[in-house]
Amino acid sequence: MSLESLRRRLARPKTSVQLCLLGVCAGLIAAILIILFRLVIIAVQGMFLNEADNFAELSTLERFALPMVAALCIAIFADFTGFKHYRLGIPFVLHRIKQHYGNMPIWNAVNQFVGGALALISGFSVGREGPSVHMGATGASILGTWLHLPYNAMRTLAGCGVAAGIAASFNTPLAAVIFVMEVVLREYKVHIFVPIMLAAVTGALTTQFVFGTDTELSMIHVIPLSGWHIPYLILCGVVLGALAFSFNQNLMLIMRTFSKVNMFPRLILAGIITGMIGYLVPQAMGPGLSAIAISVSSPEDIQLLTTIFVAKLLATLFALGLGIPGGIIGPVIGLGVVIGSMMSYFGHYISPDVEVVGTYAVLGMAGLLAATLHAPLAALVAVMELTSSPTIIVPAIVVIVSAYVTALQLFGNRSIFLQQLEFQGLAYQVSPAVEALQKVGVLDEMDEDFKLLYSDDKQQIAETLNAVDAQTPLIVFDEEHGYRLAEYDLSLTAEETVSILYVPLEGVSSQSTLAEVFTVLNDKRSGAVYVYNKLDNKQIMGMIRWDHIRHILTIRNSLL
C-alpha cells in the first residue's frame, strides 16, 4: 500500500488494520522512550543508593542537599532551552490532543525527559507517569508527523502513546486504556478503542521484557472482606473524598500563590522544601515506594504513618505546585496506601482474626485516585490489575463510589487536570460540532470530480462551464484573485443576461479534518474550500462545500 493510499484509509473514522499496526508502532516507540527514561534513573540512582528510591540510607545532609542540587539543574536546563518550553505532563498533553490533534513540540519533551529524570533521581515526591505520558504522546506525534498522516489519525496515535506510557509505567494495560478514554479523549469509539488497546499491551509487554512483571503493589497481600466491612468502607470513602478535595484545593492554592514568582526561584524553593522534608522524614521522598513499604510492614505504628502521610502530602503539594516536572498519580497512590493502612486500624476490630491491612491499603489508593483524578473506572481497573485479585472488586466499588460522589457532590471537586489546564490558560474544550468533525479527514470526504482552469478570461471560463457536466465544479485560478469557484448565477430572472458567479476559495491541507473546513466556512454558512497536497507543490486534490458539512452534522453526526 502506498503512503497516499494509507493516508486516505486513515482519514476514515473506521477500524482498520493499518491504524491498528500504527497503534502498535506508537506503543513500541513510547515503550522504548520510557525504558530509556527508567534506565537513566536506575543507573544514576545506583551510584549512590543500594536500593532504588530508598533515600533513608542517605545521610541527613545528603537528603537535604540532593533535591536542591537537582532543582538547580532542572532550572538551568529549562532556562537554557527556554521556559516557554516548560509546559509539561498530562495537562499539557490533554491540551495538545484536544486543540492540536496531539502534535507535541519536541523541546517540551526534552525538558520533560531531563527534568523528570532529575526529579525522580533526587527524591522529589512526583510520579514517573507524567513524563511517561508526555514522552509516549511525543513519540506517537513524531511517527504521525513523519508519515504526514491525517490529523484525525494523529489524534488517535497520540492516545495510543498516552496509553502505552501509562501501561509502561505501572504495568496496567487495561487501566491505561480506560484512563485514555475516561480522562484524555473522554469518549468511547471502537475505531479509537482498538488501536489504543494494542498500544497499551505493546507498551506493557515491552517494558515487562526489561523490568519484569512486578508492580508497585506486588508486596501487598489482599484478602476478601466480609459484608460487615461495607458500612465502614462507605465511611472510608467519604473521608477519602474529602481528602481528595483538600489535596486538589491546596495544590491549586500553591500554584496560584506562586504564579507571579519566576520559574527559576520557584524550582529552587521546591528543592529547599523537599530537602527539609527529606532531612526529617526520608520515607516521604520519592514517588511513593518507601511510603508503601512502611505502610505494609508497620501498619500498627499509627504515629509513624501519620508523620509519613503529612510529610509526603506536603512534599507532593509543593513539588507539583511549584513546577517540578513529574506526575501526580504516583504520589497519590503512595498517599492512598498510607491513609488506607491507617484506616485498617479500625478494620481489625471488624475482622480481628484476619490481616486486613493490605486490602485497606489498596482500597485507600483506589478511593483517593478516583476522587482526585475524576477517573473512577480507571481507578477500579488499576486496582484489579495491580493486585491481580478479583476479590477486591466489590469493596473497591464501594470505596470508589463513596469517595467520588462525596468529592463531587458534597465538595464540588473537579478533576485536578482540568483545574491545572484552566489555571494555565490552556484550552481543552471544543464544541460538539467540532469534536464530531475532528474524527473525519478531508481526504475521505472531498469531491475529487472537478475541473481546474488557470485563466481569468471570462469567455474561456464561460466556454469551460458549458463544456463540463452540471454537477462538476469549475475552479479557476489567476494571480489577482487566487482560487475561485466559478458557476452560473442561478438567481437571475429570465430577462437578465446570464452571468458567472465567483465564490472565493480558501485552502486546507490534505492532513486537515472536517473541523478545519467547518472553522473556515462557519461564519458565512456557505461556500467551499479546496484541499491541497502540501507535499506536492500544494496541488489541488479536491474540494468540500458547506452543504456537505451541514449534511454530516445533521444526518451523520451520530455515526461519528
Report whether 428 contacts 97 (CB < 8 A).
no
- pLDDT tens profile 421-458: 898 888 888 888 888 899 999 999 898 888 888 877 77
Identify the three-state secondary structure at position 430. Answer: coil
Identical fold for domains 3-429 and 437-559, yes or no, is no
Question: What is the C-alpha to C-alpha distance for residues 556 and 560, in angstroms, rounded to an integer?
Answer: 7
Question: What is the C-alpha to C-alpha distance for residues 115 and 135, in angstroms, rounded to an integer?
Answer: 12
Predicted pLDDT of residue 492: 53
Which of 54-63, 150-159, 305-314, 481-490 is least confident?
481-490
Of 35, 286, 36, 42, nearest in space to 168 by CA: 35
Question: What is the C-alpha to C-alpha distance for residues 479 and 145, in angstroms, rounded to an integer?
Answer: 31
* 120 residue type, one letter: L
Cell for 433? Answer: 460540532
- pLDDT tens profile 77-100: 988 887 776 778 889 999 999 888
560 falls in which pLDDT band (50, 70, 90)? low
Question: What is the C-alpha to C-alpha distance for residues 12 and 6, in angstroms, rounded to an integer?
Answer: 11
Whether 194 shows a pLDDT value over 80: the answer reads yes
User: What average pLDDT is seen over the chain?
Assistant: 88
Cell for 315? Answer: 512534599
Fold category of 437-559 in CATH? CBS-domain (3.10.580)
First to last CA, the chain: 26
- Angle at 133 (CA atoms; ends 131, 134), nearest 5 degrees: 65
* pLDDT average, residue stretch 204-232: 86
Fold category of 3-429 in CATH? Clc chloride channel (1.10.3080)
Question: What is the C-alpha to C-alpha distance for residues 507 and 516, in angstroms, rounded to an integer?
Answer: 10
What are the residue boundaries of the structural domains of the chain, listed by start?
A: 3-429, 437-559
Long-range interactions of 504-508: CB distance < 8 A, separation 24+: 505/475, 505/529, 505/530, 505/543, 506/530, 507/483, 507/531, 507/532, 507/538, 507/540, 508/442, 508/532
